[in-house]
Chain A
Amino acid sequence: MSTAPFGRRQLTVTAVEQLGAYTVLRVADPEGPGGRSPDPGQFAMLAAVERWGGGDDERPFLPRAFSVARFTAGEAHYLIEDVGPGTKRLCELTPGDSLWALGPLGRGFESPTEGRRALLVGGGVGIAPLAILQDTLAGPAGDGGPPVTVLLGFRDSARAEGAALLSHARVATDDGSVGHHGLVTDLLALELDRDPHAVVYACGPAGMLEGVRALCERREVPAQLALEAGMACGFGACFGCVVPRRGGGYLRVCVDGPVIDAAELERVDEHAGGAGGTR
């Protein structure tokens, strides 16, 4: 696991790209985790250095958690959708602006066991950690590693443009504007019919993750789910980001996850992480 330098560090935005409804922030991070790439699935807590606060409701105040979407040549990429005062402010940043970052944090995805095909299933802005996972599984030359299938679901065509973040993705949209008209879990079911000897890596909204979890449980397919939760700190201090663990008690999404073995969860609850209070 890549561990974070202790303390937030001030970084510089190097590029901002629009990917349909999403913004990709590229951030120079030479110190990173000792110059190494974060593990796929790890995240960082981000905040603008200037004007963090003073938006709707005099927010934001806390930094926001984002999966690392890609890490190349000392630059970390983050995929952001404007859904609240924190993400709104981050989407306003331009090259040269300063950003506070703490990370990489949390436990990422584990590599597939020998012979199992990796099935990457993403939804909405949750496709971010699957991009760096695809990069890593493909190997440094892009031609090694096990076979990978990528299935992505979006609400509409503007969001479906996000699929360009990954290679060879098959897309489903809620409104049928791009690809399969329906849920990404429909595509997943067909893939598992075709070849059940797979391991599923999923990240997306709670409803999608619950669909993936339930399907994989029925089919007895191992699944690793990257969860989202509103969190104040990202390193286990606040106990705010918990989700119920199968068999009782809670898991902290930040230090026990964000990637959690589906078998550890009874279900993925729409409300569990409580991101709504800290968007």
Chain B
Amino acid sequence: MTVEFCGLELAHPIINGSGTFDAIAAARAFGSEQLREHFPFAAYVSKTITLEPRSGNPPPRLWEAPAGLINSIGLPNKGLDGYIAEDLPQLLELGVGRDVPLVTNVMGSSAEDIARLLQACDARPEIAAIELNVSCPNVETGLDIGADPSQLEDVVRAVRGSTGRPLIVKLTPNTADVAACAQAAQDGGADAVSLINTLRAGALAPRAGRVGGHAGPWLGGRTGGLSGPAIRNVALAQVAAVAARLSIPVIGMGGVQSATHARDLLEVGATLVAVGTESFRDPAVAANIARALR
């Protein structure tokens, strides 16, 4: 059941959510040969890449929630130059960027930064498409770029010309009207949108052993993002609302654990479905879902 997505032909409709599968680390854990043979995704989406390297948030970074997970990782990455020089060749050895199309996820805090990232990706033949993470504060306004429709449309329009590759805008769910933001991304020139990203969430440190006093935030980054089955029905509603409004393709994700959940998102209008948190519990789950959809 091959799927056409923005001019790419994919073996099936299941991909990974950005930041939920590190192919290079997985090759260390499972061996390159085995990973190549069992690669679970029809396209591979990278972790978010920024212009400068980031080491990420101080630990603790995880909190197990009811039927889900709050993470506060802080987008650690080697920066654009490190990604291109070190990661791309290693990914290519695993067939990613050749046999499996590579989608590079990027984030910048201004249109200028984003344009530089898109231009750099555009120059690399291994990169089939670019996903833009807009869950990032604008340096000038302080607002998340993706949280405000007019700001999002301006940024997408300003950077659109920096690449001829398919441009996917990864929407944030932490906004008043996701469908309006999706419409703004389309109007600004996006080729596709993906959703949902994690829902902003927090947890307090366990009080055990503390006499009185406030436990304070558990996560080193203070707040994090909730994912997993806890958000599945939020995702279904948002994907349905966005798909009904847009003419461009939609990548749906949020709490997908089985072929049934993937079918639900496809049925409400998603072209592709991404698996994220469930891959933490079983790295082969996306392959099992793809097989069950055939």
Contacts and interface: CB of A to CB of B under 8 A. Distances in A.
Interface of A: 3-8, 47, 53, 57-63, 100, 102, 105-106, 229-244, 248-250, 252, 254-255, 271-274, 276-278
B38 interface: yes
Contact of B29 (A59, A235, A272): A235
B34 A6 contact: yes
Interface of B: 19-22, 24-26, 28-31, 34-35, 38, 55-56, 58-69, 71, 73, 76, 203, 205-206, 218-220, 228-229, 277, 279-285, 287-288
Contacts of B60: 230, 271, 273-274, 276-277
23 contacts: A3-B30, A5-B34, A8-B282, A58-B67, A59-B64, A59-B66, A61-B67, A62-B64, A62-B280, A106-B29, A233-B281, A233-B283, A235-B29, A237-B279, A238-B62, A239-B76, A240-B71, A241-B61, A248-B55, A249-B55, A252-B25, A255-B25, A272-B59
Kindly list the 3 A-B residue pairs having the minimum CB-CB distance in the complex, ordered from nearest: A236-B25, A274-B60, A7-B284
B283 A240 contact: no
B283 A7 contact: yes
A57 B66 contact: yes
Nearest to B62: A240
A62 B229 CA distance: 11
Nearest to B205: A276
Contacts of B68: 61
Given A7-B38, A62-B280, A236 B29 contact: yes
Secondary structure class of chain A's binding surface, majority of residues: loop
A60 B280 contact: no
A230 B61 CA distance: 9
A248 B58 CA distance: 12
Contacts of B35: 6
Contacts of B203: 277
| Residue picked from A3, A47, A233, A237, most chain B C-beta under 10 Å | A237
A271 B59 contact: yes
B284 A240 contact: no
Nearest to A62: B64
A277 B70 CA distance: 10
